[in-house]
Amino acid sequence: MLIYISMTKIRNIALKLEYDGSEFYGYQIQPDKRSVQGVVERSLSKLLGEKVKSFASGRTDKGVHALGQVINFRTSTLLEIDKINNFLNNILPSDVRLLTAWEEKEDFHARFSAKSRTYVYKMLPTSFRDSFKSRYFGFYDLDLDVFQEQMKKFIGRHNFKYFSTKIPIGCPVEKSVNEISFVSGSSFNVKIKANSFLRGMIRIMIGTSIAVMKGNLAPNFIESALEDPNISEKKRSVDASGLYFTSVDF
């Protein structure tokens, strides 16, 4: 009996992507919905001539943008990295772009190898709203001192169960928020860095801080919700349009 052993090398390739999330129902594949993962995997399959399954460092929600999403996939293709860099953007739709591709170690995984993720939320005053900016900013009138004071309460390791829209079974609800910083320029930006995030977490953190700022929630509400995640109170969130997944640390 003859036994054939395939000598084809399986390669682990990583991609850094940016995308405009306005016309997507999030990153992750959903039945009958347009997703970033779906269009990227179809484009890769067309380029490489084989079915591709990818893994992402962050699964952004509907309407959320990315400037530095990292994914990886395994493939037996012999196509050089330079050609992936040169040709994939010719296949991808105009609202998704490959920034760079590179070959990774065998054990690299875009999700599980990530040590931290960084998001930025971009805001403008409500008087600046128009039909174009509404796709890329949140519009809120802020008392900056009060808002920043509330946001800084999230720094550290906490139970963020209250600050989530949906928690998959077995998903840890304790997260470590390492950094929250603020930049004022053409827009007011909130930068948040953590080991990982729950679904909707950043938008509810910001929405809750705005509600406290406006006096719609008690001044100590954030402390209370971090201590008692089952607190009975309607959750406040901000629009997805202002949220950007900017970078990943490995």
* Cα separation, 45 vs 173, whole angstroms: 35
61 an active-site residue? Answer: yes
Long-range contacts of 4-9 (CB under 8 A, 24+ apart): 8/76, 9/76
Q: Which residues contact 143 (CB under 8 A, 6 or more apart)?
A: 213
Among 61, 107, 143, 145, the active-site one is 61
Distance of CA 195 to the CA centre of its chain: 12
β pairing state of 54-56 and 116-124: unpaired
Would you list the DSSP string of 82-93?
Answer: HHHHHHHHHHS-
CA angle 192, 72, 5 (to 5 degrees): 160
| CB burial of residue 234 (10 Å; 0-12, 13-18, 19+) | exposed
Residues with a known catalytic role: 61
